[in-house]
């Protein structure tokens, strides 16, 4: 018992000491004062005898004053986020079309966080509307949107400051399905009699590294509502004219939408306003400003993507052009022409392309494109069907066996027939097969467009261990809506953009075929000093429509 009282005495003394310390700290912080005499005045922009509710822009200038205040918090009553003003002055745009009355509340904040509040009613006219955007967003009733996770740059980062000259995802662009934890998110927009409502019904909040440090969590991970308040629940959506630094230069729609109650579309950076870059029946591109430095770019789709490669969408069975290479000699001049010269057209290649039979000849039923060492340099051949056979949509099958040797870079590919007029990559390039002698068995396909060229995001690779020992059929199935790549009739990559604009889909016009073996360069890499010669053998080339 004595030990119990002694123990309690220690606790009581500790509590009294802590209480005394807290009182002292509170005293040092200063006296807590509640703001008084809060007054609010406002001016609806454009009010005159003919426009008693304003000029239709929806702008209202507010001015709040009080005694003993630190700052003012405005709650506008229109579903947009609250805003803080240091001096009580603020301009807000009410964007609900027509004449509407809003209950605007101002909280004057004093020391210690104590507040005094007051409300005023504001009647204002807004003539802004974007009914087409509403129709696309909601489908006229209700529509669910998803991350366009299979699309390159479905989320990207760029600058958000004047004179940056880069109102796009200049700093970072995600690859397909890069952010694994967030792709189950679903976003539902519904049109009601009272306007548009929003709800994220499934999924979590993804917090990027740029914002995570500001709220004290680890970045580039998914979190729940405990970390990202506003994640769930039904919220109102309001529309307004866009006004970011990117609006004029970016060629955007000119409309933004805001989600009430801190709502957001999965990507959590403390903002609820989305500037629409583009919206159609199945694509939504938006820009989101995180702060004065960072702007995020997102792509959503109304069709949920699958991580499994899609099969071919159109079966092409009518053989329209082929070369079986059954006649010994040089390639058929009625079907093939040559690119001649050195340098690799910007790829830093080491070979010189010729039309010599030593570099391209037919024997024993195969075309052999041979790269050769030639006294410290290299020769090879690049065959093409330009101006001889060009086509739009179809399937190409090429049965080939690849060369060996470090530095060899065999390729079977296609280029837009308008290349001489518009140049590369505007013409579009389809790489059916590329091999790398320094990485035996590695096979890749790629698409190069104005929106993704060079080290393109539109690509995939696979392994064919015996690619240089056995023949395999390398194929592309090119339709109006997608491009599918196959090896031995097995799909390993499909590119199906959610929209087909000029930047990411130059594949609605004729292309021609190209086959070559390069040496070195950006993909071929270091050439083996012991290399003498090696050939890509082609059994046949067949085109179906």
434 is catalytic: yes
Token pair, residue 151, equals 């699309």
Give the pairing of strands 142-147 and 186-192. antiparallel
Of 242, 239, 263, whose CA–CA distance to 254 is shortest? 242
Cα 541 to chain center, whole Å? Answer: 36
Of 228, 538, 295, whose CA–CA distance to 398 is shortest? 538
CA distance 345 to 407: 17
CB atoms < 10 A from the CB of 34, how many? 15
Sequential DSSP letters for 302-361: SS---SSPP--SS----EEEEE---S-BS--TTT-EEE-EESTTTT-B-EEE---TTTEE
Of 382, 409, 399, 419, whose CA–CA distance to 511 is shortest? 419
507-528 burial: b if 16+ Cβ within 10 Å, else e:
beeebbbbbbbbbbbebbbebe
CA distance 494 to 497: 10
Full 3-state SS string of 118-142: EEEEEEEEECCCCHHHHHHHHCCCE
CA distance 34 to 20: 24
Which helix (H) or strand (E) element contains residue 422? Answer: helix 419-422
429 is catalytic: yes
Catalytic option among 69, 290, 390, 434: 434
Cα 47 to chain center, whole Å? Answer: 43
CA distance 309 to 462: 13
Q: Is residue 63 exposed (0-12), middle (13-18) or buried (19+ Cβ within 10 Å)? A: middle
Catalytic option among 69, 349, 429, 537: 429
Of 172, 147, 66, 177, whose CA–CA distance to 111 is shortest? 66
Token pair, residue 175, equals 């690859």
Spatial neighbors of 349 by CB under 8 A, at least 6 apart, are: 342, 343, 409, 518, 519, 520, 521, 524
Catalytic residues: 429, 434
């Amino acid at each position: 018992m004595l030990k119990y009282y002694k123990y309690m005495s220690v606790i009581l003394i500790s509590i009294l000491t802590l209480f005394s310390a807290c009182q002292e700290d509170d005293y040092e912080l200063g006296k807590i004062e509640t703001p008084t005499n809060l007054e609010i005045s406002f001016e609806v922009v454009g009010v005159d005898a003919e426009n008693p509710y304003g000029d239709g822009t929806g702008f209202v200038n507010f001015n709040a004053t009080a005694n003993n205040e630190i700052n003012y918090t405005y709650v506008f009553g229109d579903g947009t986020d609250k805003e803080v003003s240091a001096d009580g002055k603020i301009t807000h745009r009410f964007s609900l079309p027509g004449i509407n009355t809003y209950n605007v509340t101002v909280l004057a904040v004093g020391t210690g966080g104590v507040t005094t509040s007051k409300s005023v009613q504001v009647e204002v006219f807004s003539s802004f509307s974007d009914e087409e955007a509403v129709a696309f967003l909601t489908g006229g009733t209700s529509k669910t949107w998803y991350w366009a996770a299979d699309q390159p740059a479905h989320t990207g980062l760029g600058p958000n400051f004047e004179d940056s000259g880069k109102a796009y995802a200049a700093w970072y662009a995600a690859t397909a399905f890069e952010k694994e934890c967030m792709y189950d998110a679903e976003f539902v927009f519904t049109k009601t009699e009272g306007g548009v409502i929003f709800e994220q019904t499934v999924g979590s909040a993804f917090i990027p590294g740029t914002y995570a440090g500001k709220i004290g969590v680890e970045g580039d991970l998914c979190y729940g509502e405990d970390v990202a308040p506003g994640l769930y629940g039904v919220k109102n959506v309001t529309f307004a004219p866009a006004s970011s630094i990117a609006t004029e230069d970016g060629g955007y729609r000119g409309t933004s939408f805001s989600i009430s109650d801190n709502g957001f579309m999965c990507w959590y950076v403390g903002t609820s306003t989305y500037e629409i870059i583009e919206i159609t029946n199945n694509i939504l591109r938006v820009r989101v400003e995180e702060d004065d430095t960072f702007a995020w770019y997102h792509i959503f789709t109304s069709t949920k993507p699958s991580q499994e490669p899609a099969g071919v969408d159109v079966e092409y069975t009518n053989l329209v052009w082929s070369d079986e290479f059954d006649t010994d000699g040089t390639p058929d001049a009625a079907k093939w022409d040559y690119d001649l010269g050195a340098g690799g057209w910007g790829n830093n290649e080491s070979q010189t392309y010729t039309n010599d039979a030593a570099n391209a000849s037919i024997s024993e039923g195969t075309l052999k494109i041979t790269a050769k060492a030639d006294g410290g340099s290299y020769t090879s051949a690049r065959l093409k069907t330009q101006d001889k056979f060009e086509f739009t949509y179809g399937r190409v099958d090429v049965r080939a066996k690849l060369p060996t040797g470090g530095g060899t870079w065999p390729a079977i590919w296609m280029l837009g027939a308008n290349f001489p007029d518009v140049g590369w990559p505007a013409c579009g390039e389809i790489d059916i097969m590329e091999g790398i002698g320094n990485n035996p068995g590695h096979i890749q396909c790629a698409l190069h467009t104005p929106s993704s060229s060079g080290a393109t995001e539109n690509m995939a690779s696979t392994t064919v261990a015996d690619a240089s020992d056995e023949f395999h059929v390398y194929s592309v199935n090119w339709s109006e809506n997608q491009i599918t790549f196959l090896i031995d009739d097995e799909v390993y990559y499909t590119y199906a953009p959610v929209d087909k604009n000029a930047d990411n889909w130059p594949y609605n016009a004729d292309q021609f075929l190209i086959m070559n073996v390069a040496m070195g360069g950006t993909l071929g890499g270091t050439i083996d000093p012991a290399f003498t010669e090696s050939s890509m053998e082609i059994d046949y080339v067949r085109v179906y429509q």
